[in-house]
Structure 1
Amino acid sequence: MLESERFKKIQQNRKCFAYIAIFVVFQIIVLSIFGATVMKIKTPNVRLRSVTVQSLNYSSSGSNSPFFNMTLIAEVSVRNKNFGHFKFDPTKANVTFGGVIVGQGDIIKARAKARKTKRMNVTIEVNSDGISDGAKLGTEVSSGNVTLSTLARVRGKVTLMKMMKKRKTAQMNCSMIVNLPNQLVYDLACK
């Protein structure tokens, strides 16, 4: 009987070890799937949702060279696709005409919550004073449609579970056409 009790004890130990091994393998599989999906840190998206013209002054003819001055109110959205928040630093949104910066607006320091979109309004003062290509400026202002691009680079940290932190940089590159006589923005497209 002593021999059979010892054999049963060994069998129980083997069963226990097998159950522990199966549990450990199962945990490794679950953690691997969790790490591959939830813990993967993605770059947030920065986009212009809408742009409105608050004030506008322009001239295409006369003794003066062609010019435009305007104040744009841009709704910028930062879409965070991660399971942790994205805390970003203050930065500038640049408006360009033909590759020349004609205006800047401040994107304030903020935080986009996990799996949410942070929206903010940015006021941008735009003027054509720095443009040296008067022919292109004159053509666009006289046609009544000015093509502008908006560029921004938003840098920040994505924090997962208050322990994993990774720096990410989101870029915005949008183009739009401002209709001067009607003070409207159309064909707003972001890449």
Structure 2
Amino acid sequence: MAAEGEQQLQTNGHAKPAEESTNSIQSKELRRKKRKKFLVYVALFTLFQIAVILFSSFYIMKVRTPIFHVRSATFDHVEYKNAENASFDIRMNVELGVKNTNFGPYKYRNSTVYFFYNDVSIGEAFVSQGKAGFKSTKKCNLLVNLSSKDVLPKDSQLRNDLSSGTLILTSKSKLEGKVELIFVIKKKKSTEMNCTITIGLADKVVQDIDCD
């Protein structure tokens, strides 16, 4: 009996250290897996942060030039003659647009829109200061009188255009202002208008508006 007890004691003595060794290995493996998961989460979070910063830098925080253009036009009065002393007198209602594609408002100062026929000034309209909200278009309506009084009365091009019933005008202007981002960053930005307006004299309608 004494021999059996001694043998059992020896067996249990060897089994206990073996069991503790197995538990230790499993514990270390578990801690290693947890550290690995933690490092993966940290790496993913870091990549996410970098992606957000890059997206903000290249898209949200990028300042784009607003678009200043003629949207449409109608006429209160159209009078012209294509005789030897060709001339025209037009009163036009113009709708302008300031398209702002930035993630912040665009505040612009007073400006003037000039209208030309064959590079000769025929009229102008005043644009008061305003603000185009972020990702939106600010519209404004102007009344402008267009007259050929400064165009040579015997201009053959003018006679030909009036005879054809089509008058091509251009509008030019420059708008200066600032884009405001996240209520703190303000960056100066100017935009220029350069539009071609084709008028059908007989029907008194705008046939086409093309802006650069």
After TM superposition, the score normalised by the length of structure 2 is: 0.75
- Name which of structure 1's ranges 142-151 and 35-44 shifts more when overlaid on structure 2: 142-151
Unaligned runs of 5+ in 1: 1-14
| 2:179 maps to 1:152 | no
1-structure distance, mates of 2:189, 2:130: 14
1-structure distance, mates of 2:48, 2:198: 56
1:5 paired residue number: none
Count how many residue pairs are aligned between Structure 1 and Structure 2. Answer: 176
Over 3 Å counting, the alpha-carbon distance change for 1:27 and 1:142 in structure 2 is same
1:78 paired residue number: 98
1-structure distance, mates of 2:88, 2:48: 66
1:6 paired residue number: none
1-structure distance, mates of 2:47, 2:204: 64
Aligned-residue CA RMSD in angstroms? 2.3
Give the CA deviation at 1:24.
6.2
**2:160 pairs with one of 129, 139, 160:** 139
Give the CA deviation at 1:147.
0.9
2-structure distance, mates of 1:33, 1:140: 51
Give the CA deviation at 1:142.
2.2
Unaligned runs of 5+ in 2: 1-34
Higher share in helix: 2
Question: What letter is aligned with 1:30?
Answer: V
Give the CA deviation at 1:40.
0.4
2-structure distance, mates of 1:181, 1:30: 57
| 2:185 maps to 1:164 | yes
Question: What letter is aligned with 1:57?
Answer: E
2:115 paired residue number: 95
After superposition, give the CA deviation of every residue in 1:137-165 in whole Å (9 maximum; x if it has no partner): 11112222111111121111000012111
Query: 2:103 is paired with a residue of what secondary structure?
Result: coil
2-structure distance, mates of 1:60, 1:36: 55
Over 3 Å counting, the alpha-carbon distance change for 1:30 and 1:185 in structure 2 is closer
Query: 1:148 is paired with a residue of what secondary structure?
Result: strand
Higher share in strand: 1
Task: Give the fraction of aligned pairs with identical amino acids, expressed as a percent.
Answer: 27
2-structure distance, mates of 1:33, 1:61: 62
Q: Is the 8 A contact 1:46 1:76 kept in 2?
A: yes
After TM superposition, the score normalised by the length of structure 1 is: 0.82
2-structure distance, mates of 1:118, 1:124: 19
2-structure distance, mates of 1:29, 1:146: 53
Query: 2:176 is paired with a residue of what secondary structure?
Result: strand
Give the CA deviation at 1:81.
0.3
2-structure distance, mates of 1:28, 1:180: 58
Give the CA deviation at 1:104.
0.5
| 2:208 maps to 1:187 | yes
